[in-house]
Amino acid sequence: MRFLLVDPPHKIWTILRAWTPSPGCLQLLAYVEREGFDIEYMDCTLNDNPWGDLEEKVRREKPEVVGISVNCTAFIYDGMNAASLVKAASPQSIIIMGGEHPSFVAEETLRDCPAVDYICVGEGEVTLAEFLRAVEKKEDISKVLGLAYLDEKGAFCYTGDRPFIEDLDTLPMPAYHMAKMDHPFIELPSEGPRSLVVNFSRGCTWDCTFCTESAFYKKTWRNRSPKLIADEFELLKEKYNRDIFYVGDNTFNVKKEQGIGFIEEMLKRKTNQHFWLQSRADLVLRDEDLLDGYREAGVYQFMMGIEYHADSVLKDIKKHLSVEQARKAMELLRKHGLMVMATLLIGHWEETEEDREAFLKFFGKYVDHFGLNLITPLPGTPYFEHMKKLGRIEDWDYRNYDYIHAVMATKEADHLEQVNLIYKDVLKRYYWRPRELFKLFSSNPILRRHHRYYITKVAFNIMMHEIFGTPMWVQPNYQEYQDYLVERGEALPEALTAAAK
Ligand code: B12
Ligand code: SF4
C-alpha cells in the first residue's frame, strides 16, 4: 500500500515570504509511518516545476492513495487543482483531502471538485491510519469515523465525528526526515535563514467569532509536554541547524504550567535558541511573574491578537479582553525586555476614518510589530455565518481569504477596492512614521532585522508596484495552474481543464 501525501503548489504570501513544511503534514506522516505504511511526501511549493513534477510523479508511481493537505481557505483551489491533476494522471488512485478548510465545508468541496474521493474531517492522524488500513484490507470505509464522501447516487455521507486524540504526547516526533529541510525557501526571511515554524498544541479555549482554530478544535486545548517540545527543539538544532522559531500554537500558555515547564526545560537544555510565541493579553498579565523566565529561556517576542483599540469592537468579536488589559500587557512585555507583535483587525462594518486615526495613534505607541489584517469571514466560523446572513460577503473567491484582500465592504467604504486602499493606507501611515524608520537602526538586532526586512523588501515592493507598476514579489518557481495546463501543450481530458480553479 503506497501513500503519497501532497502539500499542493502554493503562492508564497508576499508579506511573510516564508515557507515551512506544514507541521500538520509532518505529524501525519510520522504517525502513519509508525503504523507501518509505505509513505512519501511532496511539498510541491519547493519543486522547480511544481505542477509538472506532481503530475509526473503520480503518473509514474500511481500510489494507491494520495492525500492532499489544505490548511488555509486561501489554498483550497490549489488543493482542488492538485486533486484534479492527480486524478487525470492516475485515475485509479484514491484521493483523500484533509485540513481545516475542507473539514468545515466538506460537502461544498466534494461537489466542487469531483476528483476528491474523501475528506478527512477534523484531526487527521487516527482517521488517516484507519482509512489506509481499510483501503489496504478492502474493508468497509463507511465504518471509519471522520470521513465525508458522496455515495454512488451523489448523496453526501458523513461517518461521524472522530474523537480528539487525548494525549498529544502519544504522537511521534514530526517527520522532519521526510521534509526538504535544507531547501532555501524554508525560513522566515524576517527572522533569518536558521528560522522555522513549529506547532505543538492544538486549539484554544476562547471563542473569538472570526477564529477557525477554536471552531476546528471545538473550544478545547491540548498540549504537548514541555519535555517533548524541548526534545524537538534540540533535534532541530542538532540535525537541522535551526535556532529561531515562530511557534504557531495559537495560544501557547492556556495553562500556566505549560509556560513554567517550557522555561524550566529550555533553561536546563541551554540550546541557545530563540522563540516567538503567541498568547493573549490576559494570559500575559496572569503570567507576569514568568516573563523574565521566558526571556531567559530564549523568548524574544510575544504575538497577541489585540485586534482593535475600542472595547465595543472587542465585545462584538467576543475577544473577552479589554483595551486596558491589552495596553497593560503590551507595556509589561516591553518592561521585561520582550517585543510585542500585535495582530490587528481593521475593516469593521461601522469603522470610520476617525477610528483608524485613533487606531494608529494607539498601536503606534505600544507595538514593536504591526500585524495588520482585514477582518475576514473564514468558513467554519460564527463570524462567517453572521456575515453571510447579513449578506455582507461580496467576494466568494477563496483565494482572497488571506486577511490582506477585502471580501466585504464597510458602511463607509462601499467598494471592495476602497477597503483594499484603506488597508494599504493604514499600513503606509504606520510604516512611514519616523518612529518606525528609526527602528532600522535599533540596537536590538532582531528588531533591526525585522524592520530592514519589512521596509526594504515588503513596503518598498508595494510602493514601487503602486508608483511604477513593477511586479509584486513572487517566488521564482511559481506557476499558475492554468498556465501550466496551457504550457503543457498535449491535450488533457476536458473534464480536467474544465475543473481548473
Ligand atoms: C504553518 C502555518 C503556516 C505556514 C504554511 C505552511 C504550509 N506548508 O502550509 C505559513 C507560515 C507559510 C503560513 C502562512 C499563512 N497562513 Co498559516 N498557519 C500555520 C499554522 C501556524 C500551523 C498549521 C499547522 O500545521 N497546524 C498544526 C496541525 C496539527 O494542524 P493542521 O494543519 O490543521 O493539520 C491537521 C488536520 O487539519 C488534518 N489534516 C491536514 N492536512 C491533512 C491531509 C490529509 C490527507 C488528512 C487525512 C488530514 C489532514 O490532520 C492534521 C493533523 O491532525 C496555523 C495555525 C495553527 N496553529 O494551526 C496557521 C493557519 C493555518 N494559517 C492561516 C492563514 C490565514 C495563513 C495566511 C493565508 C495568512 C496569514 N495571515 O498568516 C498565510 C499565507 C499563506 C501563504 N500564501 O504563504 C490560518 C488559516 C485560517 C483559514 N481557514 O484560512 C491559520 C489557522 C492561523 C489562524 N489561526 O488564523 N501558515
Ligand atoms: S484567543 Fe486567539 S486562538 Fe483563541 S479563539 Fe481567540 S483568536 Fe482564536
Residues 196, 139: one domain? no
Chain position carrying cell 488543493: 79
Contact 175, 39 (CB under 8 A): no
Contact 26, 176 (CB under 8 A): yes
Name the band, by pLDDT with cuts 50, 70 and 90, for residue 292.
Answer: very high
**Residue ID of nearest Cα to ligand 1 atom 60:** 72
**Nearest ligand atom owner, CA of 218:** 2
Instruction: Supply the CATH number for residue 136's domain.
Output: 3.40.50.280
Q: Is residue 172 part of a domain?
A: no
Contact 338, 301 (CB under 8 A): yes
In short, whether 214's Cβ falls inside 6 Å of ligand 2 is yes
Q: Which candidate, 496, 498, 499, 501, places its Cα nearest to that of 58? A: 496
Q: 3-state SS of the chain: helix, strand, coil percent to 5?
A: 45, 15, 40
- State yes or no: pLDDT of 488 exceeds 90: no
Burial of 138 (0-12, 13-18, 19+ CB in 10 A): exposed
Residues 134, 213: one domain? no
- State yes or no: pLDDT of 77 exceeds 90: yes
Residues 195, 122: one domain? no
Name the band, by pLDDT with cuts 50, 70 and 90, for residue 25.
Answer: very high
**Nearest ligand atom owner, CA of 307:** 2
Residues 464, 484: one domain? no
Residues 152, 281: one domain? no
In short, whether 209's Cβ falls inside 6 Å of ligand 2 is no
Name the band, by pLDDT with cuts 50, 70 and 90, for residue 333.
Answer: very high
Q: Is the pTM of this model over 0.85?
A: yes
**Nearest ligand atom owner, CA of 165:** 1
Q: Is residue 220 part of a domain?
A: yes
In short, whether 208's Cβ falls inside 6 Å of ligand 2 is yes
In short, whether 175's Cβ falls inside 6 Å of ligand 2 is no
- Amino acid symbol at 498: A
**Ligand 2 centre and the CA of 213: distance in Å?**
7
In short, whether 203's Cβ falls inside 6 Å of ligand 2 is no
Residues 277, 345: one domain? yes
Per-residue pLDDT reduced to its tens digit, 225-264: 999 999 999 999 999 999 999 999 999 999 999 999 999 9
Contact 243, 270 (CB under 8 A): no
Predicted local distance difference test score (pLDDT) of residue 494: 61
Strands 94-98 and 339-346: unpaired
Residues 19, 153: one domain? yes
Q: Is residue 179 part of a domain?
A: no
- Counting runs of H as helices and runs of E as strands, what totals does the chain give? 21, 15
Q: Is residue 484 part of a domain?
A: yes
Residues 159, 227: one domain? no
190's grid cell: 524576517
For the CA of 250, the closest atom of ligand 2 is 3
- Longest alpha-carbon distance in the chain: 66
**Nearest ligand atom owner, CA of 303:** 2
**Ligand 1 centre and the CA of 487: distance in Å?**
30
- State yes or no: pLDDT of 490 exceeds 90: no
* Binding-site residues, ligand 1, Cβ < 6 A: 7, 10-13, 16, 18-24, 27-28, 67-69, 71-74, 96, 98-101, 120, 123-125, 128, 197, 199, 202, 212-213, 248-250, 378, 401-403
Contact 85, 98 (CB under 8 A): no
Residues 225, 270: one domain? yes
Instruction: Supply the CATH number for residue 369's domain.
Output: 3.80.30.20
**Ligand 2 centre and the CA of 209: distance in Å?**
9
Name the band, by pLDDT with cuts 50, 70 and 90, for residue 16.
Answer: confident
**Residue ID of nearest Cα to ligand 2 atom 8:** 211
Predicted local distance difference test score (pLDDT) of residue 252: 98
- State yes or no: pLDDT of 172 exceeds 80: yes
Predicted local distance difference test score (pLDDT) of residue 456: 85
For the CA of 207, the closest atom of ligand 2 is 5
Cβ neighbour number for residue 387 with a 10 Å cutoff: 20
* Beta strands, E only, 136-264: 147-150, 156-158, 195-198, 202-203, 221-222, 244-247
**Residue ID of nearest Cα to ligand 2 atom 1:** 206
- Amino acid symbol at 197: V
DSSP state, residue 382: H
Count the domains in the chain: 2
Helix extents (H) in 139-195: none
Strands 147-150 and 118-120: antiparallel
Cβ neighbour number for residue 30 with a 10 Å cutoff: 20
Q: Is residue 440 part of a domain?
A: yes
- State yes or no: pLDDT of 497 exceeds 60: no
For the CA of 210, the closest atom of ligand 2 is 7
Name the band, by pLDDT with cuts 50, 70 and 90, for residue 454.
Answer: confident
Residues 488, 462: one domain? no
Per-residue pLDDT reduced to its tens digit, 351-393: 999 999 999 999 999 999 999 999 999 999 999 999 999 999 9
φ, ψ at 496 (rounded to 5°): -70, -45
Residues 45, 99: one domain? yes
Domain of 38?
2-165+480-497
- State yes or no: pLDDT of 157 exceeds 70: yes
Average pLDDT over residues 272-295: 98
Name the band, by pLDDT with cuts 50, 70 and 90, for residue 130.
Answer: very high
Q: Is residue 58 part of a domain?
A: yes
Q: Is residue 439 part of a domain?
A: yes
Residues 492, 442: one domain? no
**Residue ID of nearest Cα to ligand 2 atom 3:** 250
Cβ neighbour number for residue 227 with a 10 Å cutoff: 14
485's grid cell: 495546463
Name the band, by pLDDT with cuts 50, 70 and 90, for residue 495.
Answer: low
Q: Is residue 473 part of a domain?
A: no
Q: Which residues pair with 95 in a beta bridge?
A: 66
Contact 308, 314 (CB under 8 A): yes
Give percent of the chain with pLDDT exceeding 70.
98
